[in-house]
Chain A
Amino acid sequence: MQIGLISLLDGLVYGMLLFMLASGLTLILSMMGVLNFAHASIYMLGAYFAYQISTWIGFWPALVIAPLLCGAIGAAIEVWGLRRVHHNGHIAELLFTFGLVFIIGRAVQMVWGMLPMPYRVPTSLDFPLFSIYGENFPAYRGFMLLISGGMLFTTWLLLKKTRIGLIIQAALTHPSMVSALGHDVPRVFTLVFAGGSLLAGLAGVIAGNYFTTESSMADAMGPIVFVVVIFGGLGSLAGCFIASILMGMVQTFSVVADWSFADLISPFGITLGANDLLGEILTIPVSRIGPLVPYALLILILLFRPRGLMGTRET
């Protein structure tokens, strides 16, 4: 039980973090059709910027400046990069962002080196918030929940209650109609790309010291975020939210589950040896195959429900 409660909170923290990344990506993918590989690289940039700024002027200014920098970089990528290759089709745009992954990944190593950065939780937030059954819940995780919750609320407000939000929503499903009505769709694209990058940068700022800030953090996060976006379905932020929380929970709970498939069937009198591949798959504890679960879920959902959990159209 005590493991359950703490895991639930941890899963929520991780899920909200995933949502910060995935919401930007899903907006970009469903509006522009661009599978933005560089999204996780922007997340990494956010963490590195935050580390650098926090060594100069502290964590709190970094919390504001680093995401803004990432948003500016996103806008620059859209205006000077993606627009040029747009006439060559979606695959060319995808490849462009794919090339960016190499460049950003190496550029980060060139500027900051190969070693992990000593980017730590600010001392003002480094205390246990409360404890359940003798387990401490750090205040920083509460802060992460606060930031991501606030960001969720702001995005929702922006999309539902403002004029530009309505245009973005319309452009999600009917981009040509929106442009026919006289709205500047390319500018909306730039705005969404910048906004998505800003959110990714913010996620990097608050996750960089929760996990570690290193040059492989983009590769670790990128695939999971893709899974979330596809699982949630295109054009649906609600689906994206559910998928994020689900993946957060799956990832957190699979680490603490120590049963295997063999335990499920052993009551029926079937016992297995772990000598061949099949036996190994069945007897391995779930905690060890945890990293595998999201990808298995992804392939399953693409096979049986290609539009995703709550998607409005097929990819």
Chain B
Amino acid sequence: MSDAAVRALPSRRPVSVAVRLWPWIVALLIAVVLPWLFYDWQHGRHSGFMISVFSQMGMMIIFALSFNMLMGQAGLLSFCHSVLFGLAGYSTVHFLNAAGAGELPVPMELIPLLAGLSGFGFAVVFGYMATKQRSTAFAMITLGIVQLVTTAATMFHSFFGGEGGVKTDRVIGNSLLGREYGQAIEVYYLIVGWMMIAAIGMYFHAMTPLGRMANACRDNHERAQFVGYDPRMVRFLQFALSGFYAGIGGGLFAITYEIVTFDAVAAPLAANALLMAYIGGATTFFGPVLGAILITLLQSGVSLMSNSWLVYVGVLFIAMVTFAPTGLTGIVLEHAPIARAGLLRRLTLPYLRIAVPGLIVLFGFVGVVELLSFLTIGMAQGKRLALFGVALDIFSPLSWLVAFACLLGGGLWLSIEARYFKRVWDGLIEASRSR
């Protein structure tokens, strides 16, 4: 083995427990402190909006991580992940109703566990059908399943409550910690607790033999077969376990909102999981966490400001698929060899040069989208258009001209700068290899 090859191998220093634990501890601390940053000290109450956003984030993190157990780890593109989430949510509503009536002696803290088990049960049923196939055929079966369950959910009343959904009351008067769970902040901490449990469970699952075999079947399922494993069984177990974690998320959803409708099983939610995992980065464990935070912020923040947040998400998604299939965390990780060679500083100028036309394109794009959508949707709602703090007259040709000029001119400039950036980048990767 040559010297260079030896150095290319990752160094295997023994990592102390403290070093391995610190991201988890930091994450937990942030999650615990976060609501208090928005606490209204004057009136002595929490910001209801922020707490609901953070709660949503927590369950979406569980949901996206469990989705990535299929997409990232096992290479299975599932469109029915919302079914596992939503059906567990429906079950939880019935559990809560039973617990509230005193028929189910389960404390609130353990209700998400029951939800996870029911998610597991549904995943066994649907997984038995779907995991017979892999790749595109698997995706198509899951597409059928999500449509089937969504239509069924609007149709049957005894379990799904028809189009109106089923309601519950989360104050069941049975708690291990003596809490009421009447306030949103208590539910938020319940979510944080279960989010940590689920995330740690999924993190360690990736290291078990099953998690490793899922990777193997993703990369080369024929080879895995030759070694003596049954890829179908691996897919099935992986699907069932991811159903367990999705079920926990669905249970927390039911507890938070106290109502579950067919939206919780429908395809748009599954699409959301896909967006989160892919934009965050499906190749790393923490990618979906980042994606879930980002998409939830976009959903609750940008959707307040703009009617067309889905356009931005769609364009971001397509850009990721085309230019950065490893997602945001993947982009960051690609800098690792350059950083190891100590060449990171040489990227500063190219980044600055690409940022300027990039911002201009972004500005132009947002302008065009907002002007266009205001013309048809916003005006009907009787609003006034203000972009970047400037009130705009949508009928003046100037604003349209500026927006289009920024989009097209900036795009042209960006493509030139992108070529320069790629040249520098390739050179640096080459240099970091030869060091």
Which A residues have a C-beta under 8 Å from some C-beta of B?
A: 33, 35, 81, 84-85, 88, 90-92, 94-96, 98-103, 105-107, 109-114, 223, 226-227, 230, 274-277, 279-281, 284, 288-289, 291-292, 295-296, 298-299, 302-303, 306, 314-315
Query: B159 interface residue, CB < 8 Å from A?
Result: yes
Is the Cβ of A33 less than 8 Å from the Cβ of B129?
A: no
Is the Cβ of A96 less than 8 Å from the Cβ of B322?
A: yes
Q: With the chains together, A96 CA to B308 CA distance in Å? A: 19
Is the Cβ of B148 less than 8 Å from the Cβ of A111?
A: no
* B404 nearest CB across to chain A (Å): 15
> Which residues of the other chain, A, contact B147 by a CB distance below 8 angstroms?
223, 295
Query: B157 interface residue, CB < 8 Å from A?
Result: yes
Is the Cβ of B137 less than 8 Å from the Cβ of A315?
A: yes
* A273 nearest CB across to chain B (Å): 11
Query: Which residue of A81, A84, A88, A106 is within 8 Å of B310 (Cβ)?
Result: A106
> Which residues of the other chain, B, contact A90 by a CB distance below 8 angstroms?
135-136
Is the Cβ of B377 less than 8 Å from the Cβ of A277?
A: no
A223 (CB) vs chain B CBs: closest residue: B147
A295 (CB) vs chain B CBs: closest residue: B148
Contact mask B300-326 → A, CB, 8 Å, 1/0?
Answer: 000000001011011101100110010
Query: Which residue of A88, A103, A306 is within 8 Å of B133 (Cβ)?
Result: A306
A301 (CB) vs chain B CBs: closest residue: B144
Query: Which residue of B144, B155, B274 is within 8 Å of A288 (Cβ)?
Result: B155
Q: With the chains together, A33 CA to B140 CA distance in Å? A: 13
* B271 nearest CB across to chain A (Å): 7
Is the Cβ of B133 less than 8 Å from the Cβ of A110?
A: no
Q: 19 extra interchain contacts, Cβ-Cβ under 8 A, other than A99-B318, A114-B377?
A: A35-B136, A35-B139, A91-B135, A95-B317, A98-B271, A98-B317, A99-B317, A102-B313, A102-B314, A106-B373, A110-B308, A110-B369, A110-B372, A111-B372, A223-B143, A226-B140, A230-B144, A292-B151, A302-B140
Contact mask B144-162 → A, CB, 8 Å, 1/0?
Answer: 1101100110011111000
Known contacts being A90-B136, A298-B144, is A106 close to B155, with CB within 8 Å? no
Known contacts being A98-B274, A103-B311, A103-B315, is A81 close to B322, with CB within 8 Å? yes
Query: Which residue of A35, A91, A96, A102 is within 8 Å of B140 (Cβ)?
Result: A35
* B365 nearest CB across to chain A (Å): 12
* A39 nearest CB across to chain B (Å): 13
User: Can you identify 28 A-B contacts, CB atoms within 8 angstroms?
Assistant: A35-B136, A85-B321, A90-B135, A91-B135, A94-B136, A96-B322, A98-B317, A101-B314, A102-B313, A102-B314, A103-B315, A106-B308, A109-B308, A112-B376, A114-B376, A226-B143, A277-B158, A284-B155, A291-B151, A292-B152, A292-B155, A298-B144, A299-B129, A299-B144, A299-B148, A306-B133, A306-B137, A314-B137
Query: B141 interface residue, CB < 8 Å from A?
Result: yes
Query: Which residue of B136, B145, B274, B325 is within 8 Å of A92 (Cβ)?
Result: B325
Q: With the chains together, A110 CA to B144 CA distance in Å? A: 30
Contact mask B340-380 → A, CB, 8 Å, 1/0?
Answer: 00000000000000000000000000000100110011001
B379 (CB) vs chain A CBs: closest residue: A113
> Which residues of the other chain, A, contact B157 by a CB distance below 8 angstroms?
280
B316 (CB) vs chain A CBs: closest residue: A99
Query: B216 interface residue, CB < 8 Å from A?
Result: no
Known contacts being A35-B139, A299-B129, A302-B141, is A106 close to B376, with CB within 8 Å? no
Q: With the chains together, A230 CA to B145 CA distance in Å? A: 14
Is the Cβ of B314 less than 8 Å from the Cβ of A106?
A: yes
Query: B278 interface residue, CB < 8 Å from A?
Result: yes
Query: B166 interface residue, CB < 8 Å from A?
Result: no
> Which residues of the other chain, B, contact A274 by a CB distance below 8 angstroms?
158
The secondary structure that dominates the A interface is helix
* B314 nearest CB across to chain A (Å): 3
Query: B132 interface residue, CB < 8 Å from A?
Result: yes
Query: B77 interface residue, CB < 8 Å from A?
Result: yes
Is the Cβ of A94 less than 8 Å from the Cβ of B310?
A: no
Q: With the chains together, A230 CA to B137 CA distance in Å? A: 9
Is the Cβ of A306 less than 8 Å from the Cβ of B132?
A: yes
Is the Cβ of B308 less than 8 Å from the Cβ of A302?
A: no
Is the Cβ of B137 less than 8 Å from the Cβ of A302?
A: yes
Q: With the chains together, A96 CA to B322 CA distance in Å? A: 8
A103 (CB) vs chain B CBs: closest residue: B314
> Which residues of the other chain, A, contact B325 by a CB distance below 8 angstroms?
85, 88, 92
Contact mask B93-121 → A, CB, 8 Å, 1/0?
Answer: 00000000000000000000000000000
Q: With the chains together, A106 CA to B151 CA distance in Å? A: 24
Q: With the chains together, A291 CA to B153 CA distance in Å? A: 12
Q: With a 10 A CB-CB cut-off, give which of A99, A106, A114, A302 has the most chain B CB atoms.
A: A99
Is the Cβ of B376 less than 8 Å from the Cβ of A111?
A: yes
Is the Cβ of B373 less than 8 Å from the Cβ of A109?
A: yes
Q: With the chains together, A306 CA to B132 CA distance in Å? A: 9
Is the Cβ of A99 less than 8 Å from the Cβ of B314?
A: yes
Q: With the chains together, A94 CA to B133 CA distance in Å? A: 17
Q: With the chains together, A305 CA to B301 CA distance in Å? A: 47
A281 (CB) vs chain B CBs: closest residue: B156
Q: With the chains together, A281 CA to B373 CA distance in Å? A: 44
Is the Cβ of B314 less than 8 Å from the Cβ of A113?
A: no
Is the Cβ of B322 less than 8 Å from the Cβ of A110?
A: no
* B89 nearest CB across to chain A (Å): 16
> Which residues of the other chain, B, contact A227 by a CB distance below 8 angstroms?
144
> Which residues of the other chain, B, contact A289 by a CB distance below 8 angstroms?
155
Query: Which residue of A107, A223, A230, A291 is within 8 Å of B311 (Cβ)?
Result: A107
> Which residues of the other chain, A, contact B158 by a CB distance below 8 angstroms?
274-277, 279-280
Is the Cβ of A295 less than 8 Å from the Cβ of B132?
A: no
Q: With the chains together, A227 CA to B140 CA distance in Å? A: 9
* B292 nearest CB across to chain A (Å): 18
B152 (CB) vs chain A CBs: closest residue: A292
